[in-house]
């Protein structure tokens, strides 16, 4: 049975071009984040509490906002009010960048899927650090864990990628409860090469070696397109370099489950990614002690239960949230 979001709000949003609808939604939540009556209204969606502790952090519930929806960290209080147990902003790059040419987000409603080739469009680490500092000083910082997802600037050569990540890490770590290293987006040329064991180890070692009073948990977001051999090598590098968690997964370049007439270049997310993502979660849980945060194809309570059954400790929503809206959080929690 469709909820009110699916009956009324989604048709209005889907009448707009996809990226326009996205910007409208984020702008609305940004305004709500500075208006207490609006935040109180959003709290009607808050699901039942079911605290979870992972890598030293306490999550009010195991459902998080995946990176990509709030790239610039403009609406943290609103996401918390909606009931997310944690919020991941980004992907943030060292330099501000516009991303790839438009159009770059495509809806596939019949498949409950999205294709995006955004390319890390964001305000850059300097501007986002200023914004987060202002939010903290305003007293509106959310009472849930906040993760910051960082990636490589498009114009930075791959051989200098480590310096790029370290720059963002230095600026943003004080505002993050954990830091995610995005080495798996298919929309920045060459980025996935950073999943190769030597490159990943160099990056992790450099981040861990940064001087500072507090060490933040490091999480690595991986591709669903890794072969079993590649996954084994990634897990070995992560274990060797004390990674706190793995997000499985990013979007996929495997478009075999969608009709060719609707296909576009970019990363596919949503229901078609469900099985592939779950298989990777299951494989990581069976072959490693590193906690898994599942992302990919979570569109209802059943698909969330599937991820937890495969070994996930937490889950993150993106495409499922676009299609099902805020009621999805309560549906998942009540269905656990």
Residue of 273, 256, 262, 274 lying closest to 107 (CA atoms): 262
DSSP-derived 3-state class of residue 161: helix
Structural domains counted in the chain: 1
Quote the pLDDT of residue 87.
99
Question: Which residue segment(s) compose the domain that 40 sits in?
Answer: 4-334
Query: CA-CA distance, 63 to 103, in Å (whole number)?
Result: 30
DSSP-derived 3-state class of residue 19: helix
Q: Which tokens go with 250?
A: 């990013």
Query: CA-CA distance, 187 to 164, in Å (whole number)?
Result: 17
3-state secondary structure 172-216: HHHHCCEEEEECCCCCCCCHHHHHCHHHHHHHHHHHHCCCCCCCC
Q: Which tokens go with 146?
A: 């906040």
Helix axes 228-240, 274-287, angle to 10 degrees: 50
Q: Which tokens go with 267?
A: 């990363």
Nearby residues of 212 by Cβ (< 8 Å), 6 or more positions away: 173
The per-residue pLDDT string of the chain (336 residues; one tens digit each, 9 = 90 and over) reads 678 999 999 999 999 999 999 999 999 999 999 999 999 999 999 999 999 999 999 999 999 999 999 999 999 999 999 999 999 999 999 999 999 999 999 999 999 999 999 999 999 999 999 999 999 999 999 999 999 999 999 999 999 999 999 999 999 999 999 999 999 999 999 999 999 999 999 999 999 999 986 689 999 999 999 999 999 999 999 999 999 999 999 999 999 999 999 999 999 999 999 999 999 999 999 999 999 999 999 999 999 999 999 999 999 999 999 999 999 999 999 998
Nearby residues of 257 by Cβ (< 8 Å), 6 or more positions away: 111, 272
Quote the pLDDT of residue 336.
87
DSSP-assigned beta bridge partners for residue 314: 293
Q: Which tokens go with 303?
A: 């698909």
Query: CA-CA distance, 274 to 268, in Å (whole number)?
Result: 11
Query: CA-CA distance, 14 to 252, in Å (whole number)?
Result: 23
Contact, 244 vs 55, CB < 8 A?
yes
CATH classification at residue 198: 3.20.20.70
Which residue of the set 153, 185, 223, 277 is catalytic? 185
DSSP H helix total and E strand total for the chain:
13, 13
Element (H, E) at 279: helix 274-287
Active site residue 185: yes
Contact, 272 vs 113, CB < 8 A?
yes
Element (H, E) at 316: strand 314-317
Contact, 307 vs 315, CB < 8 A?
yes
Query: CA-CA distance, 73 to 79, in Å (whole number)?
Result: 10
Burial bucket for residue 220 (CB in 10 Å: 0-12, 13-18, 19+) = buried
């Amino acid at each position: 049975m469709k909820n009110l979001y699916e009956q009324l709000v989604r048709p209005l949003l889907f009448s707009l071009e996809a990226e326009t609808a996205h910007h409208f939604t984020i702008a609305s939540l940004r305004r709500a984040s500075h208006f207490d009556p609006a935040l109180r209204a959003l709290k009607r969606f808050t699901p039942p509490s079911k605290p979870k502790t992972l890598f030293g952090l306490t999550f009010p519930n195991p459902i998080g906002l995946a990176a990509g929806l709030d790239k610039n960290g403009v609406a943290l209080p609103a996401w918390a009010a909606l009931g997310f147990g944690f919020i991941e902003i980004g992907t943030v790059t060292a330099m501000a960048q516009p991303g790839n040419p438009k159009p770059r987000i495509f809806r596939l409603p019949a498949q409950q899927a999205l294709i995006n080739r955004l390319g890390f469009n964001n305000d850059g680490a300097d501007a986002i650090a200023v914004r987060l500092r202002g939010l903290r000083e305003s007293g509106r910082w959310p009472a849930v864990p906040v993760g910051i997802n960082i990636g490589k600037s498009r114009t930075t050569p791959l051989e200098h990628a480590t310096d790029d990540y370290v720059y963002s890490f230095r600026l943003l770590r004080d505002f993050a409860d954990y830091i995610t290293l995005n080495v798996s987006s298919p929309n920045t040329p060459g980025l996935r090469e950073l999943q190769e064991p030597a490159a990943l180890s160099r990056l992790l070692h450099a981040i861990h070696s940064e001087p500072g009073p507090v060490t933040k948990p490091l999480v690595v977001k991986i591709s669903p397109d890794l072969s079993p051999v590649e996954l084994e090598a990634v897990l070995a590098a992560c274990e060797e370099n004390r990674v706190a968690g793995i997000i499985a997964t990013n979007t996929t370049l495997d478009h075999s489950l969608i009709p060719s007439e609707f296909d576009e270049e970019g990363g596919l997310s949503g229901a078609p990614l469900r099985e592939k993502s779950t298989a990777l979660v299951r494989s990581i849980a069976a072959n490693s002690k590193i906690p898994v945060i599942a992302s990919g194809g979570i569109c209802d309570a059943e698909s969330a239960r599937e991820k937890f059954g495969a070994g996930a400790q937490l889950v993150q929503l993106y495409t499922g949230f676009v299609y099902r809206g805020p009621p999805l959080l309560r549906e998942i929690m009540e269905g656990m």
